Amino acid sequence: MMERRGVRNKSYRKVLCLILALCLAVAPVVAQESSGEAGSMSEDYRQGWLDGQADAKGNGVWILSGLLLGPIGIILPWVINPKVPGARLIGKSVGYVEGYTAGYRQKAKPRNFYYSLIGFGVWAVAAVVGLVFAVRTAESAADSCATALGQDCADSCMPDINCSPDLGCGSQ
How far apart CA 7 and CA 118 sit, in angstroms, is 69
Q: What is the pLDDT of residue 32?
A: 46
Q: What is the mean pLDDT of each run of 10 residues along the chain (172 residues)?
A: 57 70 55 47 90 90 91 90 89 92 94 94 94 90 73 54 57 50
Q: What is the pLDDT of residue 112?
A: 93
Count CB neighbours of 106 within 10 A: 14
Question: Angle between the 2-55 and 94-149 helix axes, to the nearest 10 degrees?
Answer: 80
Q: Where are the domains of the chain?
A: 48-171
How far apart CA 27 and CA 168 sit, in angstroms, is 85
Say if pTM beats, i.e. exceeds, 0.75.
no
Q: What is the pLDDT of residue 103?
A: 94
